[in-house]
Amino acid sequence: MDWFGRAKIAFTHAATPLPLQNKDGSATDLLKVCEASTPPCQLNPLLFNGNIQTMWTAVKEHGPPIYYRRRIFDADHKTYKGTFTVDFAVNPHQDVDESLPPRTAFFSEEEFEKIGSDDSRPMLIVLHGLSGGSHEIYLRHAIAPLVMNGGNWDVCVVNARGCAHSKVTSGVLFNARATWDVRQVVNWARRTYPNRPLFGLGFSLGANIMTNYVGEEGANCPLKGAISVGNPFDLEVSNKALQRTLLGKQVYSRVMGTNMKRLINTHKDAVLKHTNLDFDRIQNVTYLHEFDREVQTVTWGYPTENAYYRDASSSDAVLAIKIPFLAISALDDPIAVYDAIPFQEFTQNPYTVLLTTSLGGHLSWFEIGGGRWHARPICNFLNRMATEIDLDAITPNADGAALKTQFVTEFDPVRRKLRVLDT
C-alpha cells in the first residue's frame, strides 16, 4: 500500500525523447515538459485502492459548473453518415433546455455563424468515456482551469452518437475506433480558427479513440499535442480482465453493459428505423461484452466481439503517433487494466510519454477535499505546450532513423482489418 495516499509516479519513454524548443530559444524535450507538468500525486488516503477510488465516482458531487452551447454537425463522410453533436464551453448563461444536460443550450444559427475567429488562442477538443458526454464530472474537473477564472482556452467536447441527449439519425453508432467524428471536428476547427494551435484530450473509451485518431493521422495530424487518460489500450485484454474477477464482471462490466443497453432503449425508435439490430436480444444483455456481441459485431460485421476488440485497440497506434503525446494511467485501474498498457510501444516512440501513478482507479484520482489530481498534469502540460514551446519547430522527422530489420518488411501500426467499401 502506498503510504497515506501518496502515489508513486513513473514515466515510460523512449531513450531519446522528442527534442523541443522553448520560445526563448532554449532546448528541452518532451520528457522534461511532462515531468515539469506533473505534481506529486497525493490522494485521499481513505480511498486507498483502485476499486474504492473507482466506486467513489458513484458519489454524486456537483463538480465545476461548466456551461455549454451545442451544435449539431452533419457528418461529411459518405459511409459514416448521420449527425453528431459538439458542446462548446462558453460563458455562464441563463438558458434552460430540458432536453439537454444541465447548463447546456443550443447555439442559435446567428450565434454559430459568428463563431469563427482569426485569434491565436489555444483550443482543446475533448472526447469523453463510454456512454458519457460533456457533462461528466471527471471531464469538467479537467477543463475547468482552462476555461474558468480567466482561463485563456477554447474547449469543445465531441459527444459520441446517441450520448448526452443527442439523437441517433442513422445506422452508424459509435464504437471504440470511431475516429470519423473527431476527425471532422478537428478539420472544421482548423478551417474556422486558422491561427489557433489545436490540442486533443480523451478519457477512457475516448482516449482509445483519440489515440487511434492521432496514430491514423501520423505526421499529417493537425493537432499540436494530445493527451490520453485512462486508456484501455488493448480492449481484448481489458475485457477479459473484467470477466475474470467478481468485481470486474458483476460490478464494472454489468454497470457498463446496463448503461449501454439503456442508451439503446432511449433511442429505440431510431434503432429500429435505421439498423438491423435485434432489439429484443439486446434486452437480454447484462454485461458489456454481451452488448458488444449484439451491437458492435452486427453493426460492423465483426465475427466476434473479440475480433472487434482486437481491431479497435489503440496499443499499436502508439507507434504511429507523430505529435507530442502524453498518456496518463493508474496502475490500479480496474477497468483500463495494467496488463493492457503497451509499455514497450512507449519506449519505441520518442513522440510519446506514459505517465503512470500507483494509485488512482479509473478516471478517479480523488484528492482530500474532493479535487481530482488528473486535472493538474493535464492543464499543466497543455499550458506549457501552448505558451512555452515553439510548436512550429516540431517536425515529424525528429525521431531519427527507422528501425532496421533482417528482411525487407514494413509494419503499419494503424492498419485495420475492417475496410469501408464503396457503395
Q: Compute the distance between CA of residue 89 and CA of residue 86 in angstroms, rounded to an integer.
A: 10
Task: Report the candidate in 50, 93, 49, 45 with the shortest Cα–Cα distance to residue 68.
Answer: 93
Q: Exactly one of 37, 134, 166, 204 is catalytic; which is it?
A: 204
Q: Is 118 exposed, middle or buried (0-12, 13-18, 19+ CB in 10 A)?
A: exposed
Instruction: Confirm if 239 and 309 have CB atoms less than 8 A apart.
Output: yes
Question: Quick check: is 333 catalytic?
Answer: yes
Tell me how far apart the terminal alpha carbons of the chain are, to the nearest angstrom.
Answer: 56
Q: Exactly one of 253, 333, 364, 399 is catalytic; which is it?
A: 333
For the chain, give the number of residues. Answer: 423
**Residues in Cβ contact with 26 at an 8 Å cutoff, skipping those fewer than 6 apart:** none
The dihedral through the CA atoms of 387, 322, 377, 201 has a sign that is: positive
Question: What is the DSSP secondary structure assignment for residue 250, as one 8-state letter?
Answer: I
Question: Quick check: is 99 catalytic?
Answer: no
Question: Quick check: is 204 catalytic?
Answer: yes
Residue type, 227: I
C-alpha cell of residue 270: 431510431
Q: Compute the distance between CA of residue 19 and CA of residue 126 in angstroms, rounded to an integer.
A: 26
Q: Exactly one of 13, 141, 362, 374 is catalytic; which is it?
A: 362
Q: Compute the distance between CA of residue 30 and CA of residue 381 in angstroms, rounded to an integer.
A: 10
Instruction: Confirm if 340 and 353 have CB atoms less than 8 A apart.
Output: no
Residues with a catalytic annotation lie at 204, 333, 362
